Structure 1
Amino acid sequence: MRTVGVEEELLLVDPRSGEPRALSTAVLAAATRESRGRAHAFTKELQGQQLEFATYPQTGMKELGAEIGRHRAEAARHAAEAGAAVVALATSPLPAGPALTEGRRYRWIREQFGLTALEQLTCGCHVHVSVESDEEGVGVLDRMRPWLSVLLALSTNSPFWQGNDSGYNSYRNRVWGRWPSAGPVEVFGSARRYHRQVSDLLDTGVLPDEGMVYFDARLSRTYPTVEVRAADVCLDASTTALLATLTRGLVDTAAREWSQGEPPARHGVGLLRAATWQAARSGLDGHLIHPVTMRPAPADRVVHALLAHIEKALDDNGDLAQARQGLAELLAGGNGARVQRQLLRRTGSLREVVAACVRRTQEGP
């Protein structure tokens, strides 16, 4: 059974005002003190108002969900020690200014990318699924491409930007898409062609290193995994665990198709970009682009098509019942974008939206 690991990026906010606070250095210092010099799960990110953690590789999704919840609780404790709170929102509902993390690499990014870098206060969720080789990994990437927009739709959790409703369910995706290497990619066909593409990108001088190859899904440069990077950070830890379950099912399904010589769908990058835009725009609250037909269809129908596509893999992993239940609950109750808008309608205050989401990040729905 393939292992799965998750990286989540969280916002650090003022516990009273809900505004982002650039306190990642103090939060990491608190984590280091508690760990007494041992390694811990937390790292800094591009902006000082962000905190990232990574789980261990797991085969059981129940165990993975428990670890995500545990790290969120640890992050909340360390943040409180630094005078902040953590919240699993993919963009800040309240206005925020830039606070880029110090360091030579981050300074280079600021000088190279200007306002694009300054405005990148966005939080994503990255799912790592183990693969046997780069060849298998590229075979998986080629066959997963049409389905990544559905993962984005399930996770959308960033409707607000600088104090306003963006009109999107994932405005993070729109801001993130400003990076030159972000988004869907073409069919590679082999590991050699994949690595050649990465090498050619670096040779342009536009990117500082392989860490900024921001494909929606890529071969990890650190682990023997496929790294799926399409999703917003999810408001609820249970949604993150569901996302990881579905992602493993997609990897298993794509790897089986690759091993059996089934060719990948040849949808062009332009069509995939349109599907990504639609997923960011409507999330689960409208139509999506169906990954097979590349035509609009109701979101629930597309989500059930994803479930049918990976059903055998989910069943083989013992995840099918859990995935069915999780998807049914998500479609009925809504993801983070829907919850945030419901909170605003009820309270009339973006500050109250943030406060409610802080509590939900730590305690669950």
Structure 2
Amino acid sequence: MKSHYSSSTHHQVRTVGVEEELLLVDAETGAPRSVASEVLRVARRHGDTEVAAGEAGGSVGPELQEQQVETDTPAEEYLGILEQDLRRWRDKARAAASEAGALILASGTTPLPVWPQTFDDERYAAMAERFGLTASEQLTCGCHVHVSVESDDEAVGALDRIRAWLPVLLAVSANSPFWQGGDSGYASYRSQVMTRWPTNGPTEIFGSGQAYVDHLRLLVDTGVPLDEGMAYFDARPSRNYPTLEIRVADVCLDPRDAVLVAALARALVETGAREWAEG
């Protein structure tokens, strides 16, 4: 996530930003295409891969597989502007993909069979080596919502209180019924594929920001995840921004649904943070 998030105060509306993982598919057949490197070269030429210093943010970037890219939006207070951001960055990704003969598809999994190809990156290669089929078959696309918080303790206080509601956000966003060309029988098969990671799923109650940090350190020290970035929890305090990152949702076909997920995520964080502040 490359956007710059500003922390909120009790008298301000919390800012919210969204990351969307998007499939790259053939413009004629709809089959996934391994063209992310080419798409990102085009996006870089257009100035869409890095956030300029002092600007509000937004970018197109890589993901685990060559058949997908990720976009992120600036942090916004107003949901109407957030929707404009989501549409603008999908358009930028679409424009770059078109030069590679591909389209973008906002679907949690591909409807057609796929043989994923890991993006050329040292960390992703290490993940593929350590986790085998779990990593090499992992072509899924989520919608990650960043909601501003004032401190690590507030982030964890809210996280502890919204855990039980996160499956509702998954249900609202469910957009991945297919797996390898067949109907999985699930509205969100992405959620099932994600459980193959040993660090995925709901979290325990931590009680404080330090307790979360200690838990994360113990987890990495087991040698199972490569690093803290592999804490694929349903929600987590962001490593890079003063936000609580809610990661449970599928990417949504319609940007308006992504805005709904963001609005509900922000409402959950605000409610959880107030309950934490009130003890």
The two structures have a TM-score, normalised by structure 1, of 0.70
Q: Note closer, same or farther for the CA distance 1:37–1:188 as it changes in structure 2 (3 Å cut).
A: closer
What's the secondary structure of 1:35's corresponding residue? coil
Q: 2:61 aligns with which of 40, 43, 49?
A: 43
Tell me the CA shift for residue 248 of structure 1: 0.5
User: What is the match of residue 95 of structure 2?
Assistant: 77
Residues 36 and 164 of structure 1, relative CA distance in 2, 3 Å threshold: closer
Corresponding residue to 2:42 among 6, 16, 30:
30
Where in structure 2 are there 5+ consecutive unaligned residues?
A: 1-12, 52-57
Is 2:133 the partner of 1:98?
Answer: no
1:38 deviates by 6.0
Contact 2:151 2:242 in 1 (8 A): yes
Q: 1:60 to 1:88 in 2, by over 3 A?
A: same
> What's the offset of the Cα at 1:199?
0.4
User: Could you list the runs of 5+ residues in structure 1 that have no partner in the other structure?
Assistant: 262-365
Q: Which amino acid aligns with 1:103?
A: D
The code of the aligned residue for 1:10 comes to L
- Which whole-Å CA distance do the structure 1 matches of 2:48 and 2:71 have between them? 18
Which residue pairs with 2:10 in the alignment? Answer: none
Change (3 A) 1:82 1:71: same
Secondary structure class of the residue paired with 2:74: coil
Match among 83, 86, 89 for residue 65 of structure 1:
83
Larger Rg: 1
| Cα separation, 2, equivalents of 1:71 and 1:259 | 36
Matches of 1:193 and 1:80, distance apart in 2: 46
Distance across 2 between alignment mates of 1:26 and 1:7:
21
Q: Are residues 37 and 55 of structure 1, via their aligned partners in 2, closer, same or farther at CA, if it must alter by over 3 Å?
A: closer
Q: Give the TM-score normalised by the residue count of structure 2.
A: 0.92
Return the alpha-carbon distance in structure 2 between the equivalents of residues 26 and 129 of structure 1.
32
Q: 1:37 Cα shift?
A: 8.5
Of 223, 230, 239 in structure 1, the residue corresponding to residue 248 of structure 2 is: 230
Aligned pairs for 1:43-192 within 5 A? 43-192=61-210
Q: Deviations over 1:76-124 (max 9, x none)?
A: 1110011110010010010000200112211111111000001100000
Give secondary structure in 2 for the equivalent of 1:144: helix
C-alpha distance in structure 1 between counterparts of 2:144 and 2:227, whole Å: 19
The Cα shift of 1:34 comes to 1.4
Counterpart code for 1:16: E
Q: CA RMSD in A?
A: 1.1
Q: How many equivalent residue pairs? A: 261
- After TM superposition, the runs of 4+ consecutive aligned structure 1 residues lying more than 3 A away are 36-40
**Quick one: distance in 1 between partners of 2:68 and 2:229?**
18
Structure with the largest fraction of helix: 1
CA deviations on 1:241-275 (whole Å, 9 max, x unpaired) are 111011100000001100111xxxxxxxxxxxxxx
Overall identity of the aligned pairs, in %: 55
Distance 2:208 2:47 in 1: 42
Q: Does structure 1 residue 4 correspond to structure 2 residue 4?
A: no
Is 2:260 the partner of 1:242?
A: yes
Structure 2 CA distance for partners of 1:37 and 1:105, relative to 1, 3 Å: closer
Give the residue type in structure 2 aligned to 1:65.
Answer: E
- State the alpha-carbon separation in 1 of the partners of residues 278 and 177 from structure 2: 41
